[in-house]
Amino acid sequence: MPSPATHARPAAAPARSGAAPSRHLLGLQGMPASELRRRLTAAWKLQQLAERDPHGLLDVARGRIVANIFFEDSTRTRTSFAIAARRIGAEVVELVGSASSVSKGETLIDTARNVAAMGVDAIVTRTKQAGGAASIAAALDAFGHNCAVVNGGDGRHEHPTQGLLDALALAEAHGRTAGFDLSGLTVAIVGDAVSSRVARSNIAALTTLGARVLCVGPAHMAPQSMESMAPAGAVRVMQDMEEAVGLADGIMMLRIQFERHGDGSASGPAPGAEAPKKNAPIASVREYRAGYALTAERARGMKPGAVVMHPGPINRNIELDAEVADGPRSIVMRQVTLGVAVRMATLAESSGGGVEAMP
C-alpha cells in the first residue's frame, strides 16, 4: 500500500477531516433506497430551479475545480458534467485520455494523482476498464488526496449518473417525483444488456426503488444469470419482445456494443450492414431487428402512458426506428436534459456544499 501524502488545499476548498469515501460516486449496486431517493430529490429540486431560471447559476461549488478525465469517447456524459459543473459555479478542466500522458505509459492512477495534486476537488472519469473509477478513488484516498471521484462509466460495470437520470426521467413520466417510489412500474431493458454498464446501474436503481425489470434479448445478450442481479422476482429475463412491449411502462433500448465484443470495432457496423463481423454477437442486423428492435409497428403495442428511453448513442434503425426515437412516446431528449440536473446534484455533493444546504 502506498504511504499517504498530504496536500495543501486551495482556499476555496478547505480540507475536510481525512478521506471522505462517501463523496465518491462509483456505482448504484448496493446503494440503499433512501440514498437513491435523496440524490433524486436533490436533482429534481435543481431541475425545477433550472426551469424557473434557465440561465441561472448556483453558487454551491464556487471556487471548486472539477476535472473531466475521459479515457473513452463520450458526447452526453462529458458535456453534461461540464455544463453541470459550470451551473453550480465550479470551474472545469478537460483531459482526454488520448491526449494525456497515458499515451506515454503513465497509469490511470498516476494520471489521476497528478491532477488531484494540482488541487482539483472532484475527478469525473470514464475508463475502458471495469473498476477503473474505484481503483482511482482507492488510490486517492490511500495517498490522502482530498478529491472526490465520480464514475462516468467503467467498462461494462456501472454508469451511476446514467442510472440516476434514467430513474428520474421514468419517475417524472409516471408522476412519481414525490418520493420516487417506482412500485408497480415495469421497465423493459432491451438488447445487449450483458455488455452494458447502463443496464447494470439501471437494474440496481430501478429494482431498489420498487420497479420490476424485464431483460429482453437473445440469450447471449440477456443471459438468465441477469436475474440474480436483484432480489428474487425483481428481474425477469425473456426473449419475447412483443410480450415485453405489452407489459412495460418504460422501454429502454440499448445499442449493440460491438466495441465490447472483442472484435476491435469502436463503432459497430454501418447502418444497414448485413455481413457478420469476426466475433460478431449477431448473425445479421436484419435478424436482430426482426427479434428485438423497437420498430414503429412494435411500438403500436405499447401500453397507454408507456415511454421509450435510450441512454444514447442511438444506432437509428438498428435497435430503434427513427420515428419511434423522435415520436411522442420518446423521452430520450428529456433524459439528456435531466442528466444535467443529476450531475449538478452529484457534483454539488462531491465537490461543493451539497444541495440540501441550498435555500
Write out the residues near ligand CP by the rule CB under 6 A: 74-77, 153, 159, 162, 311-313
* Cβ contacts of 221 within 8 Å, gap of 6 or more: 191, 192, 193, 194, 195, 256, 281
Unique residue bearing C-alpha cell 462531491: 350
Nearer residue to ligand CP within complex by CB, 119 or 163: 163
Q: Which of 24, 22, 29 is nearest to 205 (CA)?
A: 29
Nearer residue to ligand CP within complex by CB, 268 or 311: 311
Q: How far is the CB of 149 from ligand CP (least distance, A)?
A: 17
Nearer residue to ligand CP within complex by CB, 74 or 135: 74
Q: How far is the CB of 122 from ligand CP (least distance, A)?
A: 17
Nearer residue to ligand CP within complex by CB, 153 or 352: 153
Q: How far is the CB of 114 from ligand CP (least distance, A)?
A: 24
CA distance 192 to 203: 14
Q: How far is the CB of 340 from ligand CP (least distance, A)?
A: 13
Nearer residue to ligand CP within complex by CB, 145 or 197: 197
Q: Based on C-alpha coordinates, what's the Rg of the chain?
A: 20
CA distance 329 to 336: 15
Helices in the chain by DSSP H: which ranges? 33-52, 76-87, 108-117, 132-142, 160-173, 197-208, 241-247, 285-292, 296-299, 322-325, 332-351
Classify 159 in phi/psi space as left (phi over 0), alpha (psi -120 to 50) or beta. beta
Q: How far is the CB of 155 from ligand CP (least distance, A)?
A: 13
Backbone angles phi, psi at 25, to 5 degrees: -125, 100
Sheet containing 65-70, strands listed edge to edge, beginning at the edge strand earlier in sequence = 91-96, 65-70, 122-127, 148-154
Distance between first and last Cα of the chain: 43
Nearer residue to ligand CP within complex by CB, 125 or 162: 162
CB atoms within 10 A of CB 312: 18
Q: How far is the CB of 332 from ligand CP (least distance, A)?
A: 10
With beta carbons less than 8 A apart as the criterion, state whether 347 and 90 touch.
yes
Nearer residue to ligand CP within complex by CB, 113 or 197: 197
Q: How far is the CB of 77 from ligand CP (least distance, A)?
A: 3
Nearer residue to ligand CP within complex by CB, 74 or 186: 74
Maximum distance among all alpha carbons in the chain? 61
Nearer residue to ligand CP within complex by CB, 64 or 310: 310
With beta carbons less than 8 A apart as the criterion, state whether 112 and 106 touch.
no
Q: How far is the CB of 313 from ligand CP (least distance, A)?
A: 6
Name the helix (H) or strand (E) containing 91.
strand 91-96
Backbone angles phi, psi at 259, to 5 degrees: -65, -15
Q: How far is the CB of 78 from ligand CP (least distance, A)?
A: 6
